Chain A
Amino acid sequence: MNTQSLLSQLLLGLINGSFYAILSLGLAVIFGLLNIINFAHGALYMVGAFCALLAMQWFGIGYWGALVLAPLVVGAIGVLIERLILRHLHQLDHLYGLLVTLGLALMAEGFFRWAFGISGASYPIPEALQGGVDIGIMFLPLYRAWVVVASLAACFATWYVIERTPLGARLRAATERPQLTQALGINVPVMVTATYAVGVALAAYAGVLAAPIMQVNPVMGSNLIIVVFAVVVIGGMGSILGSIVTGVGLGLLEGLTKLVYPEASSIVIFVIMVLVLLVRPAGLFGKIA
């Protein structure tokens, strides 16, 4: 094993880690405010990727348009899901939310499989980001570099809004003491809906980012979501910063595993999850309840 291959695998791990980060961030935000384990997250990531694909095929809208459009469309779907279904589950056990969102995920997958087939379609890399640069240790496709920048920027923006703005302060207040916050004249139900919409819009954004490097197909979300759940559990459910840091960190760890013993790369994250749950059941960044 030489330094060059080590560094290049770490870089690839960073790229995958930024996907984990942005997806687990959306899950963490939703869990934090709604107390819902959103199993539909992977399906909505898939829907985001399909939005990009269909926008191109049907309306000729390119990548950059899709990067804005897909989160808006999926965010609107999120508003409907929250208003029509999840709203009624607030008082119930976590399990109900999990089951309902899992059902929604299966329905979405089934629909896309029926409509577009299982192999899906290929989405081209936008022209401005085609090709790559030789950075010494490896050939880095420009698009992968863009993925890291774009997803970490979105993560940072989300973190900043929640932790450093008055809006974020209200959100956090609504999370901790919903009744009290409502009594102070803040419309908590609207904030809840908006939070769910933003959380799933992040998933759609990740879906568009993934479309040019992974085949757009109905199961692309379910392949990823289990890993992302493990990331959230390791980081601590509901911890914003935790989900970002853990996402990137586990991506790097997975990259290293692929170098040393690739056969184990799909389970290494779960091994870490078990260890973390044994030592710190609330997750690395979670507050002990």
Chain B
Amino acid sequence: MRFKVLALCAAISTLFSTAAQAQISDNTVRIGVLTDLSGMYSDLSGPGSVIATQMAIDDFIASEKPKFKVQMVTADHQNKADIASNKAREWFERDGVDIASELVTTSVGLAVQKIAKEKNKIALNTGTASTRVTNEDCNDVTIHWTYDTYALASGTARAMVKQGGKSWFFITADYAFGHSLEQDSSDIVKANGGTVLGTVRHPFPGSDFSSYLLRAQSSGAQVIGLANAGGDMINTIKQAAEFGISQKQSLAGLLVFISDVHSLGLAQTQNMFLTEGFYWDLNAETRAWSKRFFENHKRMPTMIHAGQYSAITHYLKAVKAVNSDDTQKVMAQMRKTPVNDFFAKNGQIREDGRMVHDMYLLQVKKPSESKAPWDYYHVRATIPGAEAFQPLSKSRCPLVKKS
């Protein structure tokens, strides 16, 4: 399949080489996927994002028949900002790469978007959680696509408070990401009339959370908010079930991916509320795309995988429309065009770089309700983009004009 596509590209590019416009440098658009290919986040991003990018490129070439070539380069940033920065610099300066995309891990995302600004290239961030990407650190060459801590917190925390979970206790990973997730969530809890009874911060990464769980238990809070991620969050949930906490108090996973639920199993996650930007089983369109993804990856896509496909497709269409890979022209075209695909309906890229789209409030099914592998969620509500993401009026981004 890939060979055919490559052959097709080659044939097309030869045919049209004389007609090719000089606006696209070496008549090739180069897409960099900078992700965690082997570490902590490699299940929820990593190799799946590479596959999603390749799918986006193949589909774009098949349907749009562009006159330019599209290449993908990938690198493993190992969740280290310095490695990511070096790679991005090398790509932009030496290899003629036009965009750095995915960028899972907050520190990586923030570092790369600074370099993109410096080199006047695009940072297409589909992986990072922190709202800093579009607030303090925002710039005009960065787009934050899939989700952020504000959207996750507002979806899950608001829904739980509305359902009567008024008192909260947070178990927080003791680093920047955990603190910001805890902050965003407790603001929303308080704004909706709830109270925060306490919080405990654990070293990152940890393996035994029973001690923090006991404190959460003795606080008597109705809801235990988990402001941690990956392996830490997984072990917290597992041990909460062991200590019989999940039966009496509700757990709110504030950053949970479908890959986490898959590895924990439904028995331990059932009834938990969570917010995601995508679920494979939303409608016929998402099912069709996810089925194709599954054939390539043997796992269902996370929201980062789906967001990556959507973002790359949107970018390539913009390049074709303006027939240029010039950063500002492409950014303007991307901003102007609403995002309409299986991932987002009428998605809009705001001036702070936030791509605003609907989010989904989900609840994990009971084992008895799950009919097939990966049938994990009830969709409890669709949260309209305007409500899900931080309003521009609260933005701390200098690019946002305050009236």
Interface residues of A (CB under 8 A from B): 5, 8-9, 12, 15-16, 110, 113, 117-122, 124-125, 131-132, 138-139, 141, 143-144, 212-215, 217, 219-220, 223-224, 255, 258-259, 262-267
Q: Say whether, besides A119-B231, A214-B207, A223-B207, A262 and B263 are in contact (CB < 8 Å).
A: no
Q: Which residue of A lies closest to B218 (CB)?
A: A5
Q: Which residues of B lie under 8 Å from residue A144 when comparing CB positions? A: 210, 242
Q: Which of B218, B234, B242 contacts A119 (CB 8 A)?
A: B234
Looking at B43, B207, B243, B259, the one whose CB has the most chain A CB atoms below 10 A away is: B207
Contact A215 B208 (CB under 8 A): no
Q: Is B212 an interface residue when CB atoms closer than 8 A count as contact?
A: yes
Q: Say whether, besides A113-B42, A143-B242, A263 and B259 are in contact (CB < 8 Å).
A: no
A262 to B244, CA, bound (A): 22
Contact A132 B244 (CB under 8 A): yes
Q: Which residues of B lie under 8 Å from residue A143 when comparing CB positions? A: 242
Q: Which residue of B lies closest to A8 (CB)?
A: B214
A224 to B44, CA, bound (A): 24
Q: Say whether, besides A214-B238, A215-B235, A266-B206, A259 and B43 are in contact (CB < 8 Å).
A: no
Q: Say whether, besides A16-B208, A138-B214, A213-B238, A119 and B263 are in contact (CB < 8 Å).
A: yes
Q: Is B40 an interface residue when CB atoms closer than 8 A count as contact?
A: yes
For chain B residues 115-155, which have a beta carbon within 8 Å of chain A? none
Q: Which residues of A lie under 8 Å from residue B210 when comparing CB positions? A: 12, 15, 144
Q: Which residues of A lie under 8 Å from residue B242 when comparing CB positions? A: 125, 141, 143-144, 212-213
Q: Is B163 an interface residue when CB atoms closer than 8 A count as contact?
A: no
Q: Mark B211-241, 1 if CB is under 8 A from A, else 0.
A: 1101101100000000000110011001100
Contact B201 A262 (CB under 8 A): yes
Q: How far is the CB of B9 from chain A (nearest CB, A)?
A: 30
Q: How far is the CB of B282 from chain A (nearest CB, A)?
A: 23
Q: Is B322 an interface residue when CB atoms closer than 8 A count as contact?
A: no
A233 to B162, CA, bound (A): 52
Q: Is B205 an interface residue when CB atoms closer than 8 A count as contact?
A: yes
- The size class of the interface chain B forms with chain A is 35 or more
Q: Is B38 an interface residue when CB atoms closer than 8 A count as contact?
A: yes
Give 4 A-B pairs besides A9-B214, A214-B238 with Cβ atoms closer than 8 angstroms.
A110-B38, A118-B42, A213-B208, A217-B263
Q: Which residue of A lies closest to B212 (CB)?
A: A262
Q: Which residue of B lies closest to A210 (CB)?
A: B207
Contact A117 B174 (CB under 8 A): no
For chain B residues 42-63, which have a beta carbon within 8 Å of chain A? 42-44
For chain B residues 191-211, which have a beta carbon within 8 Å of chain A? 200-203, 205-208, 210-211
Q: Is B264 an interface residue when CB atoms closer than 8 A count as contact?
A: yes
Q: How far is the CB of A125 from chain B (nearest CB, A)?
A: 7
Q: How far is the CB of A166 from chain B (nearest CB, A)?
A: 39
Q: Say whether, besides A12-B214, A214-B208, A215-B264, A141 and B259 are in contact (CB < 8 Å).
A: no
Q: Which of B38, B211, B259, B260 contacts A262 (CB 8 A)?
A: B211
11 residue pairs from A and B, CB less than 8 Å apart: A12-B214, A117-B259, A118-B41, A118-B231, A119-B43, A119-B262, A131-B244, A132-B243, A215-B231, A262-B202, A265-B203
A215 to B41, CA, bound (A): 15
A131 to B242, CA, bound (A): 7
Contact A223 B205 (CB under 8 A): yes
Q: How far is the CB of B55 from chain A (nearest CB, A)?
A: 20
Q: How far is the CB of A68 from chain B (nearest CB, A)?
A: 23
Q: Is B39 an interface residue when CB atoms closer than 8 A count as contact?
A: yes
Looking at A117, A132, A141, A263, the one whose CB has the most chain B CB atoms below 10 A away is: A117
Q: How far is the CB of A248 from chain B (nearest CB, A)?
A: 15
Contact B243 A113 (CB under 8 A): no
Q: Which residues of A lie under 8 Å from residue B267 when comparing CB positions? A: 124
A9 to B211, CA, bound (A): 6
Looking at A131, A138, A267, the one whose CB has the most chain B CB atoms below 10 A away is: A138
Q: Is B268 an interface residue when CB atoms closer than 8 A count as contact?
A: yes
Q: Which residue of A lies closest to B242 (CB)?
A: A141
Q: Which residues of A lie under 8 Å from residue B202 when comparing CB positions? A: 262-263, 265
Q: How far is the CB of B58 from chain A (nearest CB, A)?
A: 24
Q: Mark B258-290, 1 if CB is under 8 A from A, else 0.
A: 011011110110000000000000000000000
Q: Which residues of B lie under 8 Å from residue A255 when comparing CB positions? A: 211
Contact A141 B244 (CB under 8 A): yes
Q: Which residues of B lie under 8 Å from residue A212 when comparing CB positions? A: 242
Contact A214 B235 (CB under 8 A): yes
A212 to B40, CA, bound (A): 21
Q: Which residue of A lies closest to B230 (CB)?
A: A119
A117 to B40, CA, bound (A): 9
Q: Which residues of A lie under 8 Å from residue B268 when comparing CB positions? A: 122
A15 to B207, CA, bound (A): 13
Q: How far is the CB of B304 from chain A (nearest CB, A)?
A: 14
Q: Which residue of A lies closest to B241 (CB)?
A: A125
A15 to B43, CA, bound (A): 30
Contact B211 A122 (CB under 8 A): no
Q: Which residues of A lie under 8 Å from residue B215 when comparing CB positions? A: 5
Contact B39 A259 (CB under 8 A): no
Q: Which residues of B lie under 8 Å from residue A141 when comparing CB positions? A: 242-244
Q: Which residues of B lie under 8 Å from residue A110 when comparing CB positions? A: 38
Q: Which residues of A lie under 8 Å from residue B203 when comparing CB positions? A: 262-267
Q: Which residues of A lie under 8 Å from residue B231 when comparing CB positions? A: 118-119, 215, 217, 219
Contact B244 A139 (CB under 8 A): yes
Contact A122 B42 (CB under 8 A): no
Contact A258 B212 (CB under 8 A): yes
